[in-house]
Structure 1
Amino acid sequence: MNSKKAILLPKYQKIFDGIGENIKLARKRRKLTADQVSERAGIHRATLYRVEKGDPSVAIGIYFNIFRVLNLDKDFEQLAADDPFGRKLQDLDLL
């Protein structure tokens, strides 16, 4: 498999690191093993490990499957839901 490493600025990598850590903590709070989550999400254990380490090259659909397994799909729905900057741009166009 030809895997490309996503290149991010350190401040953006920190965001992925935080998401990965939050996923890992959510899994542990639910007392689920990595094997259980990866099986339920339909992914390999190594992919879950990459997500929990904040790997930005993992497909967003895999992140969603993990959120779904952890019953966090409502959190996933909040991604980009609030767009104050976009609304200001839209309002400027309306003037």
Structure 2
Amino acid sequence: MANKKIVLLPKARKILVEVGENIKLARLRRKLSAEQVAERANIGRTTLYHIEKGDPGVSIGAYLQVMMVLRLGEDFLMLAKDDELGRKLQDAKLITKERAPKRNK
């Protein structure tokens, strides 16, 4: 199976680059070397480099492993947590049943 090049829209690319920068800053704040984080996450240093650059070709599992090493795993749970648009779309399609008329006694 040939590797496909992932093409992102500019806005998505910008978000991924920012995530990578945030991961790198978190690593530096913890005073951990790239080698330490890569070893603990069971990935290569090159993969960590790609993560910190926001490379879309790196698996989401590798991103999660690095975040777990940095103790940011709970942040990963925040992804798509508040789906405001999805809830609005769902609410718009909800059908309310009409009440039956009251019976006269």
TM-score by length of 2: 0.85
Partner of 2:54: 54
Q: Which has the higher helix share?
A: 1
Q: How many residue pairs get matched?
A: 95
1:37-80 per-residue CA deviation (whole Å, 9 max, x = no partner) reads 00000000000000000101111011100010000001000000
Shift of 1:4: 3.1
CA distance in 2, matches of 1:19, 1:3: 23
Return 5+ residue gaps in structure 1 as ranges. none
Q: Deviations over 1:6-52 (max 9, x none)?
A: 11122211111100000000000000000000000000000000000
Q: If the length of structure 1 is used for normalisation, what is the TM-score?
A: 0.94
Trace 1:1-95 onto structure 2 (pairs within 5 A).
3-95=3-95
What is the alpha-carbon distance in structure 2 between the residues aligned to residue 68 and residue 61 of structure 1? 10
Letter of the 1:73 partner, please give it.
G
Identity of aligned residues (%): 60
Shift of 1:3: 3.9
Structure of larger gyration radius: 2
